Chains A and B, each alone.
Chain A
Amino acid sequence: MDKKDFFTIDLKRPLLRDGPNFLSHTVIVIGDIAYLRPTISSMMFCMIYVVVGSFLLSLATYLLIVSTKYDLVIFLGGFGIAITTFGISLIRPFLQRASFNKQLDIFNNHKDRDVKLHHITSLHINNKIIQRKHALSYPCFELNLLTAHGRRINVLNHNDQQQLQQDAQLLATFLGIELHDCRKEVML
């Protein structure tokens, strides 16, 4: 790359297209570790899929034992597997707690490459409107971090603005970095 080349990072651009219509995580600081804790309500909604999926799978198993309706068994079993898998895939990110560890000097979200805490330069709050094809739109907010190398990584993504601002401030204080409000007016 030519040394004269430069690039700009649009800090007002949200990183994720989608987002939940509820509070998904809160920031908890214990000693030298700050981590994201999933809310009980969000876990419960994910569990609905696991329960419904397991019920359909059990029903399919029962029918397989007592009847010869194999088409219904396949239909129920298929739906059961799909819904259960979907539920597990929703729960997994909640169980893998993203954390900022001062002792190890690492931010680990189990998704992106680990980031050294001293490389994190600032935190930014972004906003967006989630538009649904078959439902009404709603606002959603992101807390993103910026590294010295220009990487932007999402930390929080939910629609509780007040809680997100509190958590962002808590995290900024914990990391000793600046917090910028990069919310913009969304043109409809």
Chain B
Amino acid sequence: MKITRKLMYLFLFAFSTSALAEEMSSFGQTINNLSKAVDGFFNDYTGWFVGLIFKSVPIGDANFPIIVGWLLLAALIFTVYFGFIQFRRIGMAINIIKGKYTDPNSKEEGEVSHFQALTTALSGTVGLGNIAGVGAALAIGGPGATFWMIICGFLGMASKFCECTLGVKYRTVLPSGAISGGPMYYLSQGLSEKGLGGLGKALAIGFALMCILGALGGGNMFQANQAHAMLTYAFDVPSEYGVITGIVLASLVFSVIVGGMPSIASVTERVVPWMAGLYVGMSLIVIFVNLDQVGPAFAAIFDGAFTGAGVAGGFIGALIQGLKRATFSNEAGVGSAAIAHSAVKTKEPITEGLVSLLEPFIDTVVICTMTALVITIAGLNVTPFNGEGLTGVTLTAASFTETAGIFKYLLALAVVMFAFSTMISWSYYGLKAWTYLFGEGKTTELIFKIIFCIFVVIGATIQFGAVIDFSDAAIFAMSIFNIIGLYFLMPIVKKELKSFLARVESGEIKTYDNKDAK
């Protein structure tokens, strides 16, 4: 203890000397050079990957990325194939959450209540995609991008239904008792059942590879980068000090994912829903304070959607940005949600599919729209929409601050918490993909966890452009392999749905009124 105290005094003394101030200045220069070097490295070495994933075809004045069309087409096909399930069965999804299909007297120990399930789903949907993602979409795509985000949110509900049902159906319980599920499993097992084992294995490997990159990109670097950007905006922290933010975040992430500390994970799980509530509350305050501007804001959104005024590539440009950011936020068709949903306690895969389809609705249709309204009302996002002014989390934060200065501090708190919790979630997605490829084992897992923590520091250090391009490319690449598999497996989901509906209709699956609970 004495040694620790002496070291502490020495540390504080060193900080208070002017000599150290000079050292800090040269430290700042070093960090700046390091940031530029890392940024340059990323641009040079990941540029080809970004270019490959976002290969575009010219449509009008804009270059339309094929991958965006791929996701949009898939969502449309699933919507039609499942008979517009997101509209026709939304009532059933709400009833499942309300517990209509669960015997209230047979609740197993440890099982979460339906209210808890709902709050979990809600808190899981609000994150940096809603805050920074919408800021980025509107900075490049103008207010019209919001309309396309909403459309993408509605269509994405069907994709999420399909993948999450399959996630539960093909999940695997490992000998250790841990549950593993997600596209790697349904692609290999599901396609194998159809006699396409080779293709399934290839798709599963491709997905796992992209999932690792997605975990390092969108689930890690983007989060760390935007957390530091928020600190820079709210507290004027020099951007080159991102390495410090990165090291602090990486240390905490390390303690959770390497140490498996249950307490910090529990604290995060308890705090994040409050942060989500705080964010929604702040948005509602801005909207109600500026109620008279909501009409014109919606008008700007609808006009911009079809005219694309001030957007490079016109309305196609707005559409591209809306679809890209909506997919990044709700992850529909990407396959990551299927990993998380596969661990749920249920005997009916279809019920989890139905519950999961509410997420793109809440995430994109409701919360992203609220963020877009806040940005549009504030009027800081002006033409030309080329992303050179305020963008990402700084645009959103500046728009909130227009109504009340304190919002930037609350937003900083929320952003740091969201970034941390998202990094924890994605570390597990990435780890599952990693162990799928390289096998389970302490050393193998530790290698991934250390790489993941290093990328937290890199993400907080480098520039936004390089981060978001790589993050987008990695997340979208996951959808290539996932959606091919979903096309082959969607008849299985349809069969499950038919069976479930028939059993509900025949009374085999009973419905319960909450009053039945003893």
Contacts and interface: CB of A to CB of B under 8 A. Distances in A.
- Do the two chains bind? yes
Interface in A19-68: 19-22, 41-42, 44-46, 48-49, 51-52, 54-56, 58-59, 61-62, 65-66
Interface string B154-184: 0000000000000000000100111110000
Given A18-B262, A139-B176, A58 B12 contact: yes
Interface stretch (B77-85, B248-256, B463-471, B490-498): B248-256
A45 B265 contact: no
Interface string B4-22: 0000100110011000010
Interface in A75-96: 75, 79, 83, 86, 90
Contacts of A19: 262
Interface in B103-135: 108-110, 120, 123-124
Contact of A52 (B108, B235, B251): B251
A45 B254 CA distance: 9
A130 B236 contact: no
B425 interface: yes
Nearest to B117: A133
B164 to A, nearest CB: 15
Interface in A111-143: 127-139
Contact of A56 (B109, B248, B266, B425): B248
Contact of A86 (B16, B264, B424): B264
Contact of B178 (A62, A90, A139): A139
Q: Chain B contact residues: over half helix, strand or loop, or mixed?
A: helix
B300 interface: no
Interface in B226-271: 234-237, 244, 248, 251-252, 254-255, 258-269
Given A20-B261, A21-B260, A135-B265, A62 B15 contact: yes
B417 to A, nearest CB: 10
Nearest to A136: B428
B345 A48 contact: no
A147 to B, nearest CB: 22
A186 interface: yes
A188 interface: yes
B412 interface: yes
B302 interface: no
B261 A90 contact: yes
A163 B177 CA distance: 17
Interface residues of A, number: 50
A128 B21 CA distance: 53
A177 interface: no
A133 B124 contact: yes
Contacts of A83: 252
A130 B112 CA distance: 12
Interface in B314-340: 339-340
A54 B272 CA distance: 24
Contacts of A51: 251
- Which of A51, A58, A66, A135 has the most chain B CB atoms closer than 10 A to its own CB? A135
Contacts of B412: 75
B424 A134 contact: yes
Contacts of A54: 8
Contact of B248 (A52, A66, A138): A52
A131 B109 contact: no
Given A21-B262, A61-B12, A137 B120 contact: no
A136 B110 contact: no
A44 B428 CA distance: 22
B427 to A, nearest CB: 8
A13 interface: yes
B15 A130 contact: no
A172 B16 CA distance: 57
A133 B244 CA distance: 29
Contact of B110 (A44, A86, A131): A131
Contact of B259 (A42, A58, A66, A129): A42
Nearest to B252: A52
A69 interface: yes
B343 A22 contact: no
Interface in B50-86: none
A65 B237 contact: no
B283 interface: no
A138 B425 contact: no
B487 to A, nearest CB: 27
Nearest to A10: B109
A167 B261 CA distance: 22
A55 B236 CA distance: 19
Given A48-B252, A133-B120, A62 B16 contact: yes
B272 to A, nearest CB: 8
Question: Which 9 residue pairs spanning A and B have beta carbons closest together?
Answer: A21-B260, A45-B259, A139-B177, A72-B235, A62-B15, A134-B425, A48-B255, A135-B428, A18-B262
Given A132-B269, A134-B272, 17 more contacts: A20-B261, A20-B262, A45-B258, A48-B255, A49-B252, A49-B264, A58-B11, A62-B16, A75-B412, A75-B413, A129-B178, A130-B262, A134-B424, A134-B425, A136-B343, A138-B178, A187-B345
Interface of B: 8, 11-12, 15-16, 21, 108-110, 120, 123-124, 173, 176-180, 234-237, 244, 248, 251-252, 254-255, 258-269, 272, 339-340, 343, 345, 409, 412-413, 416, 421, 424-425, 427-428, 432
14 contacts: A13-B109, A48-B252, A51-B251, A69-B235, A71-B234, A71-B409, A75-B235, A129-B179, A134-B124, A136-B178, A136-B339, A136-B343, A137-B343, A138-B178
